Amino acid sequence: MTTRIPALGLTAIIAITAFFALTTAHADASFVVFQCGAGQNLCRINPDGTGLQQITSDGSPTAGYHWPSLSRDGSRMSWIRGNGDLFIGDAAAHPTVGPIERSVKLAVIRPDGAQVGGLVLSSVFSGLFAYIYNADGTTALSGPKPDGYSIGWATDNNLLLPWNNPSTPTIGICVAVPDPGGGTNCGTRVASDPSLDLAFPTVSPDGGTLAVIAENRSDSGGHIALYDYNSHTLLRNVTSGTQDSAPVWSPDGTQLTFVRAEAGGPAIYVTSADGAPGSERRIATGDTPTWGGPIIAGHGLRVSKTQRGSSVRITLTVDKGPATVDARLTGSSKTKILGRSVKRGVPAGPLTIKVKLNKAGKKALKRKRKLKLNVRVAVSTAGAQASTMTAKVTLKRR
């Protein structure tokens, strides 16, 4: 299966109204990079569909950007240009190594960024062959010929490759291991389906779940299926139909991004790993997404610039729970606390808090009739980077 890449339109949407003070917490969050702009450049977007920005501008019909792939922490990225030039660099597509190879058709960086796996079109033998390149551009492995157009990484840092099933006419997913004769064999078959081919294997950050595309060979895509990586059994389908491809896990393992073929061209979608078909959401027009960056505790603080009463209403998103959310109001000195709310055990999801003025805050509001306040919200939880967000608000007496 090949991914169609028709002409795409890039629409930048950055809207901040005069009614809200917004934070820039997204700069510290994980992010999605994908192919955009008539299939020639790369764009970056937040997983909720905000913050769309183009990160390359020198792509062209003969030197376009293809198959970006981020390390899990978002610090390194591989990509292909033109007809197969493979590069490694940072998340802004600044190359540090490359071109490593000039005939790569698909590449996936290892989650830790130490190596890149690629499918290389051989000029001597017929077909695509799997290679592994070290971060410095040297070749670590060459030779396996997969039975399908995809590649992934196993938990033991061997490759995951599509491999014909010996007992069925379909293609499953195998851990590719070296054999004593210098070749590569299917060491462990981690997923198979009696009637559908499996492709685009990707393992969750905790190593427990394998996401694949289950497809008919005549279709341009398939649906996302999840397998238990250790028992090799099907868990569930998270999408349906025959139009999805190239799934990638979020850094925290709770979501997946993927590309869906649509009438107007391919589009980038995000879905929960626990979701059911139909719960996915479209975030951008584009192709071949990848997801990386730090796991943060919260983002998206929103505070109306002017409010009335003796409390300040704030909203935010908790990315990983259970979390502790500490919201504080201070005056011009930013040291004297005029209001505070602490919530513990907050689950992931949207959160609204009313931060009430304390005695000192109420006294100041009564005296001045309006207060210019600084809002500071800290979100913390185990296994995630703590988030601190700030905003300003003017609180008026009723």
| Alpha carbon 20 to chain centroid, angstroms | 27
> How confident is the model over 315-360, as pLDDT tens digits?
998 988 899 999 999 998 878 999 999 999 999 889 999 999 999 9
pLDDT exceeds cutoff 90 at 38: no
Residue 54: left if φ>0, alpha if ψ -120 to 50, beta else—which one?
beta
HSE-CB for 1 with a 13 A CA cutoff: 26
Give the separation between CA 330 and CA 362, rounded to whole angstroms. Answer: 12
Give the separation between CA 392 and CA 69, rounded to whole angstroms. Answer: 38
Report cis status (omega within 30 of 0) of the bond before 99.
Answer: yes
> How confident is the model over 92-142, as pLDDT tens digits?
999 999 999 999 999 999 999 999 999 999 877 778 999 999 999 999 988
Q: Give the least confident one: 27-41, 257-271, 289-303, 377-391.
A: 27-41
Is the pLDDT higher at 181 or at 378?
Answer: 378
Binned at pLDDT 50, 70 and 90, residue 225 comes out as very high
Give the separation between CA 289 and CA 266, rounded to whole angstroms. Answer: 11
DSSP state of 347: P
- Hey, what CATH topology would domain 298-396 get? Immunoglobulin-like (2.60.40)
> How confident is the model over 356-374, as pLDDT tens digits?
999 999 999 999 999 999 9
**Mean pLDDT within 212-218:** 90
Is the pLDDT higher at 168 or at 346?
Answer: 346
> How confident is the model over 242-272, as pLDDT tens digits?
999 999 999 989 999 999 999 999 999 999 9
Residue ranges, comma separated, of all CATH 2.60.40.2550 domains in the chain are 298-396
- Hey, what CATH topology would domain 30-292 get? Neuraminidase (2.120.10)
| Alpha carbon 377 to chain centroid, angstroms | 25
pLDDT exceeds cutoff 90 at 375: yes
Position 182 scores a pLDDT of 66
| Cα dist from 160 to 14, 184, 198, 211, 315, whole Å | 39, 12, 11, 12, 42
Give the three-state DSSP class for 364. Answer: helix
Reading the block at residue 295, the tokens are 């796991």
| Alpha carbon 239 to chain centroid, angstroms | 17
Position 21 scores a pLDDT of 53
- Single-letter code of the amino acid located at 194: P
Position 5 scores a pLDDT of 34
Position 143 scores a pLDDT of 76
- Global pTM? 0.77
Is the pLDDT higher at 23 or at 268?
Answer: 268
